Chain A
Amino acid sequence: MIFAALMPAATGFANWMIPLMIGAPDMALPRLNNWGFWLLPPAAILLTLPFSLALLGIGDGAIATGWTFYAPLSVQGGMGVDFAILAVHILGISSIMGSINIIVTIFNMRAPGMTMMKLPLFCWGWLITAFLLIATLPVLAGAVTMLLTDRHFGTHFFDAAGGGDPILFQHLFWFFGHPEVYILLLPVWGLVPHVLSTFSRKPTYGYKAQVYSYWAIAGLGVIVWAHHMFTSGMSVGGQIYFMYVTMAISFPLAVLFFCWIASVWRGSLTFETPMLFALGFLVLFGWGGLTGLALSDAAADPQYHNAYFLVAHFHYAFYPSAVMGAMAAVYYWLPKWTGHMLNETLGKWHFWVAVIGFNITFIPQFFVGLAGMPRRIPDYPLMFAEWNMISSIGAFILGASHLIFVYNVVCNIRGGKKAEARAWEGAEGLEWTVPSPAPYHTFETPPEIK
């Protein structure tokens, strides 16, 4: 989900929109782009192949370690782990290619007059994301390479019996894994101000404060990784350090939140579908952020960490950001992509069914988590059965909501009311100056930015 869905989706938005937003005809390195895209299908096939082969009686099934590949389980696991290691390498190469392309495009292809501090916030969010990817993905690649050599070439990086240390794997994984949170969230944090300001009909509040907050969050994000490991055992000094730097992230994040709230404050608000998703993100992600603050407390963390509380927190952070943010982006830019306005009624149904389904799914997980239901264990005591049933019903509602989305997008591609160049009344930015749908190689004569 994270490697093969959320990351490529965010890269797709960048490829489509960054050239339009900075006044460039195309991405800087189109062949690299092509490679980055076409590496994704083989990686996805590699990830899922062991599962399919097991259905035919070949091998021992899909990777059974979760997305974290924790050693020693992953050292001892079946061939699914090898497939996943190769898939992660390929997905990593694809993401690094995308990141290089985005950095080069933003640095070298901006229209004359578009200084860095005039860059749209979506581009800023992606630029910093690209730096994070280049800094951290190679470390994950190193970790899974060591895992591969431990499995097949007699090394003992993560094998305590051979002098290695399984905790080392956790450190290497989370050195990538925590920045990965911001890799997935920063593009959305860059997008949301565009949507909020469009449907509030006023400029985004605190542009510079938002840019500096992105940098602060990214900088802090690479030095907090071991808060994922409070329950793995750590010195008191280590716990105190990782606790305080994690809590420090809440300062720039609060700056972002207040800027977003100020952006809609006293605006001429209308609630089209993209705005609903952006506001839904704001409210629900607030819960994800606040529960994260509770988890960052090293003293309280053992109560929450290996329980369903963490599962609920994670989904309150990721679903509103990576999924609802992506939905806000799709509904916002769809008229620019297809040349048709979307069906607002269906969009609103999608939003409300998704929000209701999401909350029915994950609010009960806070309750059962605090009551002691452990995560990653397939069975649970009978006392948790009712909340789990409610959670399952919510998950079906949430899943069904996306069928409305798919139907709406298909209808939109096939027809609908023609979209004007500026599809939304309050929209600002270069992408809204070109026809809808945008022709290929739009700004061959660069626009002048005043």
Chain B
Amino acid sequence: MSADKMSMQSPHDAKPGLDDAEWARRRRANVRLGLLFGGIALLIFLASLWKYRPL
């Protein structure tokens, strides 16, 4: 089946969205929260190594 027959590829909806400032604010909040949880994962990894470090 050719790609153009797949109606999933139809970003046609040019609806009015939220304003740009609101989306920019959301994007910043998303990145901050992502970094927080990434940092927590890294800390747990380092703590699991540190706990059993060679003496």
A439, B12: Cβ atoms closer than 8 Å: yes
Are B33 and A104 in touch, CB under 8 angstroms?
yes
Measured CB to CB, the closest approach of chain A to B20, in angstroms, equals: 12
Contacts of B40 in A (CB 8 A): 134
A186 CB–B CB distance under 8 Å: no
For residues 97 through 143 of chain A, which have their beta carbon under 8 Å from a beta carbon of chain B? 99-101, 103-104, 107-109, 134-135, 137-139, 141-143
In the complex, the answer to whether A444 meets B45 with C-beta atoms within 8 Å is no
Are A142 and B49 closer than 8 Å at their CB atoms?
yes
Knowing A414-B1, A437-B8, A446-B18 are in contact, say whether A138-B45 is a contact too (CB < 8 A): yes
How many residues on the B side are at the interface (Cβ–Cβ under 8 A)?
29
The 8 Å CB contact of A142, one of B11, B16, B26, B48, is: B48
Shortest distance from the beta carbon of A380 to any chain B beta carbon, whole Å: 38
CB of A371 within 8 Å of the partner chain: no
List the interface of chain B (C-beta within 8 A of A): 1, 7-13, 15-18, 26, 29-31, 33-34, 37-38, 40-42, 44-45, 48-49, 52, 54
Q: Beyond A142-B48, A146-B49, is A108–B33 a contact (Cβ under 8 Å)?
A: yes
A28 touches B44 (CB 8 A): no
* Chain B neighbourhood of A99, CB < 8 A: 37
Mark interface residues in A388-419 (1 if CB within 8 Å of B CB, else 0).
00000000000000000000000001100000
Q: Which residues on the A side are within 8 Å of B48 (C-beta)?
A: 138-139, 141-143, 172
Query: Is B45 a contact of A440 with CB atoms below 8 Å?
Result: no
- Expressed in whole angstroms, the minimum distance between the Cβ of A106 and any Cβ of chain B is 10
Residues of the A chain whose Cβ atoms lie less than 8 Å from the Cβ of B18 = 444-446
**Extra 10 A-B pairs, beta carbons < 8 Å, given A29-B30, A103-B33, A441-B11:** A28-B30, A99-B37, A100-B37, A103-B37, A109-B30, A138-B48, A146-B49, A338-B8, A413-B1, A440-B9
Across the interface, name the chain A residue whose C-beta is closest to B11.
A440
Contacts A142-B48, A145-B49: A137 and B30 contacting too (C-beta < 8 A)?
no
Q: In residues 414-450 of chain A, which contact B (Cβ within 8 Å)?
A: 414, 437-442, 444-446
25 chain-A/chain-B pairs, Cβ below 8 angstroms: A32-B34, A104-B30, A104-B34, A107-B33, A109-B26, A134-B40, A135-B44, A139-B44, A139-B48, A141-B48, A142-B49, A157-B54, A168-B52, A172-B48, A337-B8, A338-B8, A413-B1, A414-B1, A437-B8, A439-B10, A439-B13, A440-B9, A441-B11, A444-B15, A444-B18
**B41 to A138, Cβ gap below 8 A?**
yes
A439 touches B33 (CB 8 A): no
Q: What residue in chain A is nearest B40 (Cβ atoms)? A: A134
Q: Which partner residue on chain A sits nearest B50 by CB separation? A: A142
Q: How far is the CB of A305 from chain B (nearest CB, A)?
A: 26
Task: Give bound CA distance, A100 to B30, whole Å.
Answer: 10
A437 B7 Cβ-Cβ under 8 A: yes
Residues on B with beta carbons closer than 8 Å to the beta carbon of A141: 45, 48
For the A-B complex, the count of residue pairs with Cβ-Cβ distances under 8 Å equals 88
**What residues of A have a CB within 8 angstroms of the CB of B7 in the complex?**
339, 437
A residues near B16, Cβ cutoff 8 Å? 445
Residue A155 at the chain B interface, CB threshold 8 Å: yes
Evaluate contact between B49 and A445: CB separation under 8 angstroms.
Answer: no
> Are B30 and A134 in touch, CB under 8 angstroms?
no
How distant is B36 from chain A, measured CB to nearest CB, in Å?
9
CA distance A29 to B8 in the complex (A): 21
Nearest-neighbour CB distance to chain B for A105, whole angstroms, equals 8
Contact of B26 with A104 in the complex, beta carbons under 8 Å: no
* Chain A residues whose CB sits within 8 angstroms of the CB of B42 once the complex forms: 138
Closest residue to A438 on the B side, CB-wise? B8
- Chain A positions within 8 Å of B30 at CB level: 28-29, 104, 108-109
The complex places the Cα of A104 from the Cα of B27 at a distance, in Å, of 10
**A441 in contact with B34 (CB, 8 Å):** no
In the complex, residue of chain B having the shortest beta-carbon distance to the beta carbon of A413: B1
B residues near A81, Cβ cutoff 8 Å: none
Within the complex, what minimum Cβ distance (angstroms) separates A173 from chain B?
12
Most buried by B among A157, A413, A444: A444
Known contacts A137-B41, A439-B12; is A101 also within 8 Å of B33 by CB? Answer: no
How close is A112's CB to chain B, nearest CB, in angstroms? 10
Residues of B within 8 A of A442 (CB): 13
A contact residues around B15 at 8 Å (CB): 444-445
**Contacts of A139 on B, CB cut-off 8 Å?**
44-45, 48
A135 to B1, CA, bound (A): 43
Which of B11, B15, B42, B48 neighbours the largest number of chain A CB atoms within 10 Å of its CB?
B48
